[in-house]
Amino acid sequence: MTGTDVGILGAGPAGMAAAIRAHEAGARIIVMDDNPGAGGQIWRGGERTQTSSQARQWLRRFQGIEQFTLANCRVVSAEANPLKLLVETGAGAEEIVARSLILATGAREIFLPFPGWTLPGVMGVGGLQAMAKSGLPIEGKTIVVAGSGPLLLAVAAYLKGHGAEVKLIAEQAPRSALTRFGVKLLRTPGKLAQAASLQLSLLGIPYLQSCWIERAEGDGHLEAVVMRRDGKTWTVACDYAAVAYGLYPNAEMAALLGCRMSGAVVAVDELQRTSIENIYCAGECTGIGGVDLSIVEGEIAGYAATGNLHRARKLSGRRKRAQAFADALNTAFALRAELKQLPRADTFVCRCEDVTFARLQSVRSFRVAKLHTRCGMGPCQGRVCGPAADFLFGWRTESVRPPVFPARLGTLITKQSEEEEITASQ
């Protein structure tokens, strides 16, 4: 068992900012992350590979503070009172007891089922970029980027910059919504410059709005996608399709701890406090808002968790501005209802247990779907089909139970034996 002042779950922008601010108060910190290194998904690959100065600066500051990082680890269960985490690492398992906990668990991509989406070669948008950053050869590969959100543009630019041939970008949102969003961008000059530089490097890639992938085709792996726009369909041959419909908060750990939720996101107050004492939440798990909002929320949580309330409150203006940008973004890229028509009767919605759309149409809630079809009962534990079922049927995944990640038996036995030791010594 290891004790610490502040336990931080997630070493993305929010988690790193929280660690840096908590460290200012002299707190002992343990940061836990599933990935091999810090940076989260947006700043994956370490300081040297980052093109933004903001990323390099935060990664350098994070490496510079005294903290203990558990990389490549999974928190498989947690208890709120007292705060206790069971963590599985490559080598074994460990129990961590913390005085306060900051959840900065980020978000995952929303994958909506369409015919052929299970073919090898169909990946997420951030997913394909993460693979490329970790060595997937993409030079000379033909790629279609589709789905929704500003990430499509950033990833298409990245792929093109690394020698891929991006055939087109398909954005489901209509042009009118993006134009309104563009007007709002004018109020945040930093974002505008970012958008403009993206546009420049995108020269030569068609960016189609009100357009999406209707189905993917191939024998054993992806060979082509069928696009739809304005009632017309056409086929585009490609090696990879990068498809994702925005982001969904990773709120499982907060739900397990019993924190109050607000829809799919973790409810927090102006100091990033959840409904449970000494548990804070920052970044995308409190609502999808992008990197600037994640950083300022992380800083507030880091200050608040170490009793530095004055400093935490001074950041409220910055958080408000970042939130306004996030709200405009979420309105512009709202998902259209037509996407609910994409799955056919035999399209799998749950990829772990191969549960078809038709089988889910015959039940009325995620709970019943779990009991009767095994939807969401596989190793991803509903992380992929849950957000899809939320969009398609309006289902919430409801209860979360430990282990929240598939765990080795040895890990669970570690917990058991420590509890037995305690009982024996009493």
Partner 1 sequence: MPDTVEISVNGRTMRVPAGTSVASAVFAAGLTQFRTSVSGEPRAPLCGMGICFECRVTIDNQPHCRSCQIPVQPGMRISTT
As given in the structure block, the two tokens for residue 164 are 């891929």
Residue 177 contacts partner 1 per CB under 8 A: no
Closer to partner 1 by Cβ: residue 44 or 273: 44
Nearer to partner 1, 378 or 403 (CB): 378
Shortest Å distance, C-beta 43 to partner 1: 13
Size, binding site for partner 1 by CB under 8 A = 37
Residue 331 beta carbon to partner 1: minimum distance, rounded to whole angstroms: 26
Q: Binders of partner 1 among 344-363, rule CB under 8 A?
A: 351-354
Nearest to partner 1 of 117, 303 (CB atom): 117
> Which residue, 21 or 383, is less far from partner 1 as judged by CB?
383
Task: Report the nearest approach of partner 1 to the CB of residue 377 (Å).
Answer: 11
Residue 386 CB, nearest distance to partner 1 (Å)? 11
Tokens 């927090």 -> residue: 268
Asked if 378 touches partner 1 (CB under 8 A), the answer is yes
Six-digit token string for 405: 């990640």
* Region from 78-86, 300-308, 362-370, 378-386 binding partner 1, contact rule CB under 8 A: 378-386
Applying CB under 8 A, among 21, 167, 319, 383 the residue interacting with partner 1 is 383
Interaction of residue 2 with partner 1, rule CB under 8 A: no
**Among positions 126, 147, 249, 403, the unique one binding partner 1 when judged by CB under 8 A:** 126
Distance separating the N- and C-terminal Cα atoms of the chain? 17
Q: Find the Cα–Cα–Cα–Cα dihedral 242, 248, 249, 250, rounded to 10°.
A: -60
Residue environment code for 408-418, b if the CB has 16+ CB neighbours within 10 A, otherwise e: eeebbebbeee
Contact window for partner 1 (CB under 8 A) among 125-133, 176-184, 261-269, 316-324: 125-133
Side chain identity at residue 355, one-letter code: V
Identify the three-state secondary structure at position 51.
coil
Among 34, 47, 79, 217, binds partner 1 (CB under 8 A): 34
Whichever of 118 and 179 has its CB closer to partner 1, that residue is 118
169 vs 225: CA distance, rounded Å: 12
Task: Please tell me whether residue 403 binds partner 1 under the rule CB under 8 A.
Answer: no
**Pairing outcome for strands 265-266 and 142-148:** unpaired
User: Does residue number 39 form part of the binding site for partner 1 (CB under 8 A)?
Assistant: no
Q: Are 238 and 218 in contact (CB under 8 A)?
A: no
Beta-ladder partners of 247? 109
Q: Does 131 bind partner 1 (CB under 8 A)?
A: yes
Nearer to partner 1, 139 or 277 (CB): 139
Nearest distance from residue 394's CB to partner 1, in Å? 22
Stretch 206-235 residues interacting with partner 1 (CB under 8 A): 220-221
Q: Nearest distance from residue 159's CB to partner 1, in Å?
A: 13
* Interaction of residue 137 with partner 1, rule CB under 8 A: yes
How many angstroms separate the CA atoms of 386 and 398, rounded? 10
Report in angstroms the alpha-carbon separations of 304 from 206, 273, 297, 331: 46, 8, 10, 30
Stretch that binds partner 1, among 116-124, 313-321, 361-369, 388-396 (CB under 8 A): 116-124
Cα dist from 87 to 33, 94, 406, whole Å: 10, 5, 12
Distance (Å, whole) CA 47 – CA 132: 17
In terms of Cβ atoms closer than 10 Å to its own Cβ (0-12, 13-18, 19+), residue 191 is middle
Residues 70-89 that bind partner 1 (CB under 8 A): 72
Sheet holding 232-237, edge to edge: 211-217, 224-229, 232-237
Query: Is residue 124 within the footprint of partner 1 (CB under 8 A)?
Result: yes
Question: Residues 54 to 73: which contact partner 1 by CB under 8 A?
Answer: 72
Strand order in the sheet with 122-123: 122-123, 240-245, 142-148, 165-171, 207-209
Give the span between the Cα atoms of 144 and 238, in whole angstroms: 7
Minimum Å gap between C-beta 100 and partner 1 is 26
Residue 12 interacting with partner 1 (CB under 8 A): no
Q: How far is the CB of 253 from partner 1 (least distance, A)?
A: 13
The one segment of 32-40, 225-233, 254-262, 337-345 that binds partner 1 by CB under 8 A: 32-40
CB of 238 to partner 1, least distance (A): 14
Give the contacts of 340 (CB within 8 A, at least 6 positions apart): 391, 392
Distance, in Å, from the CA atom of 172 to the CA atom of 149, rounded to the nearest integer, reads 9
Q: Which residues bind partner 1 (CB under 8 A)?
A: 34-36, 41, 72, 108-109, 111, 118-124, 126-131, 134-137, 220-221, 351-354, 378-380, 383-384, 406
